[in-house]
Amino acid sequence: MRILLVEDSERVAEAVGKGLRAGGHSVVLAASVRAADEAFATQHFDVAIVDIGLPDGSGLDWCRAARRGGNELPMLLLTANTGVSDRVAGLDAGADDYLGKPFALDELVARVRALARRGPRWSESIRRFDARHLQVVIDRDRRIVTVGAARLPLTPREFDIVALLAWRDGRVVPRDELLEAVWGDATERVAASFDVLLARIRRKLSEHGVREALRTVRQVGYAWALDRSKLG
């Protein structure tokens, strides 16, 4: 699991990062709102842990802005303010959970695991994209992709790859992050399977008249290249 930890206290960040890594998780630290924005724009995460008090802004505002932008990444807010009104403000901002400082590391790790199991609350279940004279429709709830009037014959993992890329709004997803998100690890065996599935996805799209949907960024990763449909 990849976790974005937005925390400016070196002591807290070191302790939390160490505890999460001991559980086998990958942790990316951002010590400011700006650093969080940069990490969020270029990487995939399963959960975000966000301190409310940051040197260049409020973690509460950052969470609120992310939700307004349609991002539904599970988020846990950390704060020294533990009053009822503070908890309500955090939840109203779009946080999934709220933990007051000081906290037990075991409790934090358990809450993060629970959020990851719950997964993102996707604000959109359907997205439509233009591919020249065709429209590509991805339905996350029904787990189907259609090109024009035809349904694309994707396997479950092929669908997961397509949906993950399509919901990243054109941002590049690093190869290892894509493997971890779909398979849970990035071993050589999994990488070989991924290459096969990616080739099959491209072939199936091409057979239905779509040849430009997946973009490869050499030595970095992959991105969804189709523009959102103007028809809604």
**8 plus 114 within the same structural domain:** yes
| pTM for this prediction | 0.55
Can you give the residue range of the structural domain that contains 148? 126-228
Secondary structure, 3-state, the chain: CEEEEECCCHHHHHHHHHHHHHCCCEEEEECCHHHHHHHHHHCCCCEEEEECEECCEEHHHHHHHHHHCCCCCCEEEEECCCCHHHHHHHHHCCCCEEEECCCCHHHHHHHHHHHHHHCCCCCCCEEEEEECCEEEEEECCCCEEEECCEECCCCHHHHHHHHHHHCCCCCCEEHHHHHHHHHCCCCHHHHHHHHHHHHHHHHHHHHCCCCCCEEEECCCEEEECCEECCCC
**7 plus 46 within the same structural domain:** yes
Q: What is the pLDDT of residues 25-45, one digit of tens each?
A: 889 999 999 999 888 877 778
Q: What is the pLDDT of residues 103-127, one digit of tens each?
A: 889 889 888 887 776 666 555 688 9
**107 plus 155 within the same structural domain:** no
**204 plus 99 within the same structural domain:** no
